[in-house]
Amino acid sequence: MQSVQKDSKVSTHCSGKYLDWDKYRSKDVKLYVEGVHCTGCVGLLERLSIVQPAEVEQSTFNLPQSTLRLRLRPGAALSRIAGQIEEWGYVPHLIEEESDADRQAARENRARLIDIGVAGALAGNIMLMSIPLYSGVDGSLRTFFEALSLGLAVPAVFYSGRSFFKNVAAAWVNSTFSIDAPILLAILVAFFYSCVSVFRGTHELYFDSLSALIFLLLSSRYYLARLRRSSKLSLGVLDYFQAKGDRVVGDRYQPESGMKLSSDGVLRFGQIAVDFSHFSGESVPVWIKPGGEVYAGTQIIEASGDAVIEVTAVGDRTRMAQMLEKVREAQERRSDTQIQADRWAKSLLRAVTTVAFASLVYFAWRGHTAEGIRRVLALLIVTCPCALALATPLVFSRALQILIRQGLLVKDPIALDRGANVRKIFFDKTGTLTWGKLSVVGGLESADSETLRLLYSMVTRSRHPVSRAIEAAIVRIAEKDDRSPVRNPESWTEFREMPGLGLSAFRDGGEEFRLVRSEDNQTTFSEVVFQKGAVREELLRVRLQDQLRPKSAKIIRDLQINRYGTALVTGDHAWPAREVANQTGINFVYSQKTPEEKAEIVERGLMVGDGLNDALALSKARVSIAVQGGIDAAIQSAQVYSLKPGIETVPVFLSMSKLVRRTLKQNFIYSTAYNLIGATLSLSGFMSPLLAAVLMPMSATTVFVWTLARLREKNA
C-alpha cells in the first residue's frame, strides 16, 4: 500500500463519522471490514466500483484477512465510500500499517465472542424453560413457560442474530443473493410460527431449536473465521530479504562489511560496495558514492572507514516491502476456480430456497404445516455451501504458504490454476539452465594494448554479462602482463546498447566501434566480434562460455518422464544452444530469437527465464516462472518468482498445481454429495433442525481439515 498523505480538503457529502478520512489522499487505500463471513459478502464489497464508479476504480477483498483494497479515482472522498460500506451493514476501519489489520481482527473477535456468549446464555435458558414443557406440565404453568421462552427468544433472534438481517438486507438493496437468505428465512418462519402457536395454544414451539441454531451458527462462523485467518498467507519474504532492525527515519549509522541492511537510506559520506542482486539480478557488487541510494535487503560487501548512511525508509515503507505489497495485491485476485465455486454456491442457494418454498406450500396444502416447517427448517440449515465456498480460498492460501517455504513466491494465484494444464515448458538458456556467468576462454591474449583499451572502455559502460566477463578478463590480463589497457579509457561522444545485438560507440571524429555477436559462429562457444569503422573491420574475436547448472539435466529428464514437452528458447547462436540442448536432453531448440520472437513462441506454455532479458516472454506466457534474476523485474513480468537459482523449483510448482486441482475436485465432490444427502434426509423427515445445525459446521470443518491434510508440505 502506498504511503498515505494528508490533505486539508474535507468532503461534507457523507456521514460525519468518517469525515476525517477525507484528509487522506492516496490512489490505493486499504480497509479492514468487520462483519464479512462469506463469499456473498465479498461479492457485495467488490461491487463498490459499480455502485460508486466516480469514487472507486477497483475494489478487491481478501477474505482470510478481511481487508478491502481500494483503488480510488482522482478527487474521491473516502468518507462517502466508508458510508456506503456501513449502509451495507459492515464496519470499515482505515489501515495504515499491516499491524492495524491484526488489531482490528482481534477487536472483532472479542465482539463476536460477546455475541456468542449472549446467544449461548439465551439458548441455555430457553432449553431450561423447555424441560417442563417436554415433561408434560399443563395449565397456567405451561402458558408461563411458553411466554418466558418467547420473551427470551426475541433477543436471541433480533440481537444475537442481527448479522443475518444486516447481510440479507444489504444483498437485497444491491440485487444480490446472500448466503444468509435461506438461514434467515428458516429463523423467521420458525420464530413466527412458534409465536402464533403460543397465542393460539397449539403448543408447537421451536424456540429451543431456534436459539440453539443461532448459537451454533455464530460459533461455527467464529471458528471458521479464525481458521481462515490462521491460514492466511504470511509471505515471510521480508525475513528472507532483509534483516530485522529498530532504526527510524533520520538515523545515521556507519555500515560495516557483511552487514545486511534493514532499511532504505542514502549514503552521505564515504563509499560502499553493495550486493543489489535481489533487485537487479546483477551478481557483481555495485560501488555507491555519496548521494547514492541503498535499500533494505541489500548486503554491504565493502565499506570505507568514513562511510555514513542516513535512513530514509523503514518497515512497510522500504522499497522491498513496497515490491512485496504488489505481490500481496496480486494474490488477492481470485482465480477462475474460485469464481466458479462462488457461482456454484449461489446457484445452490437459489435452488434450495426455491425447493424450500415449494415444500412449505405443499405441506401447508396437505394440512401438515408444522411438519413442513420442521423439514424445511432442516433443509435450509443443512444445505449450506460454506464448505466449498470457504475451502476454495483456503486451498490456494495453503498452497501459497507451502510454496514460499519451498522457495517460490507466487504473485498471481491464477498461475496455480493454469499450471495444472501445462504440457510444454520453455526454458531460457543463460542464467536459467546455465550459471549465467560467462567467462572468456579465448581471443584476448593476442590483442594489442590499444585494442584492449578501446574494448575495455566500451564494456565498462554496459551491465550485460558478456561485457562484464570481457571486462574482468581484460583486468586480469593487465595485472598479469603489467600492461595498462584499463588506464586512460576512451571518452565516447555517443554510446548505445542494442538489446540482443551488442554495443556501439563513437569517438571524436565520428569513428564507430562495435561489439556484436558473431553471425558465422560454428562452435559451441559464444563469440563476439569487436569491429571498427563503417566497413566493419574486425579487430578482435572473443570466445566466451557458460557452464550448465549441475541439476538442470536431471530435472529436465524427470519432467519428460512425466510427459512434459521441453524446449529451449534463447537469443544465443545455434551452436551453443544445441550444445546445451544435447547436454540436457531438451526436445526442441529455438535459437537467435529476439525478445519479441520469444514472446510469440512461448505464448501457450510455461516460460522459465531469469526475469530480466526474458521480461517480455514471461509477461506473454500462459504461466511464467522467473529465476535467478532481480526480484524487481520478476514482479513486474512473471507470475511466479523463484527464490532459488536454477530450475529446481519448477517441478515443485507443477506438482503443487496438480495437487491443488485434485484437492478442489475432491472438495467439490464431497460438498455436492453432502448437500444432496442432507437435502434428501431433511425433506424425508429423517433430520431435525437441531441435527442440521450441528452437521452444518461439522461439514465445513471436515472440508477444512481434509484440505490441510492434503496440502501438506511433504506432499508438494
CATH for 293: 2.70.150.10
CATH of the domain at 451: 3.40.1110.10
The more confidently predicted of residues 24 and 332 is: 24
Query: Does residue 412 belong to any structural domain of this protein?
Result: yes
Check if the beta carbon of residue 671 is closer than 8 Å to that of residue 703. yes
- Examine the domain organization and report whether 569 and 644 are in the same domain: yes
Convert 248-266 to b/e letters by CB count within 10 Å (16 or more is b): eeeeeeebeeebebbbbbb
What is the pTM for the complete model shown? Answer: 0.64
Residue 3 in this model has a pLDDT that exceeds 50: no
Lowest mean pLDDT among 154-163, 261-270, 581-590, 703-712: 703-712
521/497: higher pLDDT:
497
Q: List strands edge to edge, sheet with 264-269.
A: 252-253, 308-313, 264-269, 293-294
Give me the pLDDT at residue 403, please. 87
Q: How far is CA 269 from CA 41, 294, 501, in A?
A: 54, 13, 39
Span 303-320, mean pLDDT? Answer: 84
431 and 568 co-located in one domain: yes
- The whole-number pLDDT of residue 241 equals 54
498 in the same domain as 427: no
Contact 27, 48 (CB under 8 A): no
Q: Which of 57-66, 92-101, 397-406 has the highest mean pLDDT?
A: 397-406
pLDDT band at 513 (very low <50, low <70, confident <90, very high): very high
Per-range mean pLDDT, top range of 25-39, 95-109, 244-258, 381-395:
244-258
Task: Name the nearest CA neighbour of 218 among 350, 122, 348.
Answer: 122
Residue 388 confidence (pLDDT): 64
503 lies in the same domain as 593: no
* CATH assignment at residue 75: 3.30.70.100
**At 707, is the pLDDT very low, low, confident or very high (cuts 50, 70, 90)?**
confident
* Per-residue confidence (pLDDT) for residue 13, from 0 to 100: 42
Q: Per-residue confidence at 554, pLDDT binned at 50, 70, 90?
A: very high
Q: Could you list the residue range(s) of the whole structural domain that residue 306 is in?
A: 246-317
* pLDDT given for residue 249 in this prediction: 86
Q: How far apart are CA 309 and CA 288, in angstroms?
A: 11
Give the torsion sign (CA, 49, 52, 57, 61): negative
Flag whether 471 is in a domain: yes
Reply yes or no on whether the pLDDT at 715 is more than 70: no
Query: Is 713 inside a domain boundary?
Result: no
- Picking from 35, 92, 22, 37, the residue whose alpha carbon sits closest to that of residue 59 is 92
Indicate the range of 94-98, 385-389, 535-539 predicted with least confidence: 385-389
pLDDT score, position 8? 33
Residue 495 sits in the same domain as residue 572: no
Q: How confident is the model at residue 11 (pLDDT cuts 50, 70, 90)?
A: very low
Tell me the pairing of strands 526-532 and 512-517. antiparallel
**Residue 1's pLDDT is what?**
35
- Asked if 11 and 92 sit in the same domain, the reply is yes
Q: Is residue 460 domain-shared with residue 604, that is, in the same domain?
A: no
pLDDT of residue 7: 37
* 444 plus 510 within the same structural domain: yes
Residue 438: which of 550, 526, 549, 519 has the closest Cα? 526
Q: CB of 571 within 8 A of CB of 432?
A: no
Q: Which residue has the higher pLDDT, 388 or 156?
A: 156
Q: How many CA atoms lie within 13 A of 176 on its CB side?
A: 24
Buried b (16+ CB within 10 A) or exposed e, 318-327: bbbbebbbeb
What average pLDDT does the segment 442-460 reach? 87
**Residue 361 pLDDT > 80, yes or no?**
yes
471 lies in the same domain as 501: yes
Q: Which of 145, 115, 151 is closest to 128 using CA atoms?
A: 145
Burial of 344 (0-12, 13-18, 19+ CB in 10 A): middle
Q: Are residues 519 and 575 in the same domain?
A: no
Would residue 260 count as lying in a domain?
yes
Q: What is the pLDDT of residues 126-180, one digit of tens each?
A: 888 887 777 777 878 888 888 888 899 999 999 988 888 887 877 777 666 666 7
Query: What are the DSSP calls for 86-114, one per residue?
Result: HHTT-EEEEESSHHHHHHHHHHHHHHHHH
What mean pLDDT is predicted for residues 405-422?
A: 85
The alpha carbon dihedral of 348, 352, 355, 358 has a sign of negative
Average pLDDT, the chain: 79
- Total tally of structural domains belonging to the chain: 4
Q: In the prediction, which pLDDT does 217 show?
A: 76
For residue 589, the cross-strand partners are: 568
Cβ-based burial of 46 (10 A; exposed 0-12, middle 13-18, buried ≥19): middle
Paired with 513 in beta bridges are 505, 532
Residue 330 has pLDDT above 80, yes or no: no
What pLDDT does residue 276 have?
66
The residue among 261, 283, 317 that closes a domain is: 317
- Note whether residue 300 is domain-resident: yes
Give the ranges where 543-649 is alpha helix by DSSP (H).
552-561, 574-584, 595-601, 615-620, 631-637
Q: Given pLDDT bands bounded at 50, 70 and 90, which one contains residue 524?
A: very low
Lowest pLDDT segment from 43-47, 222-226, 259-263, 313-317: 222-226
Q: 58: closest CA among 44, 71, 77?
A: 71
pLDDT of residue 227: 59
Higher pLDDT, 676 or 526: 676
657-675 pLDDT, tens digit per residue, is 999 989 888 888 888 888 8
Place 331 in a pLDDT band, splitting at 50, 70 and 90: low
Residue 492 pLDDT greater than 80, yes or no: yes
What's the pLDDT tens digit per position in 587-621? 899 988 888 888 889 988 999 987 666 778 888 88
Q: Which residues pair with 309 in a beta bridge?
A: 253, 267
- pLDDT for 635: 67
Which one of 494, 512, 545 terminates a domain? 545
CB atoms within 10 A of CB 271: 15
- For residue 375, is it within any domain? no
Distance CA 40, CA 53 (A): 20
> What is the pLDDT, as a whole number, of residue 341?
67
Distance CA 196, CA 206 (A): 11
| Count of CB atoms situated within 10 Å of the CB of 66 | 26
Long-range contacts of 48-56 (CB under 8 A, 24+ apart): 48/81, 48/84, 48/85, 51/84, 51/174, 52/80, 52/81, 52/84, 55/80, 55/81, 56/81
pLDDT band at 9 (very low <50, low <70, confident <90, very high): very low
Q: The dihedral of CA 325, 329, 332, 333: what is its sign?
A: negative
In a domain, 420, yes or no: yes
pLDDT for 555: 94
Helix, strand, or coil here: 217? helix
Q: Between 161 and 186, whose confidence is greater?
A: 161
Range in 234-238, 357-361, 501-505 the model is least confident about? 234-238
Q: Which of 526, 545, 564 is the last residue of a domain?
A: 545
Do 605 and 519 belong to one domain?
no
Q: Which residue has the higher pLDDT, 277 or 687?
A: 687
CATH number at residue 608: 3.40.50.1000
449 pLDDT more than 90 = no
Per-residue pLDDT band for 498 (boundaries 50, 70, 90) equals confident
The alpha carbon dihedral of 114, 117, 118, 119 has a sign of positive
Same domain as 541, residue 447: yes
On the question of pLDDT at 338 being above 50, the answer is: yes
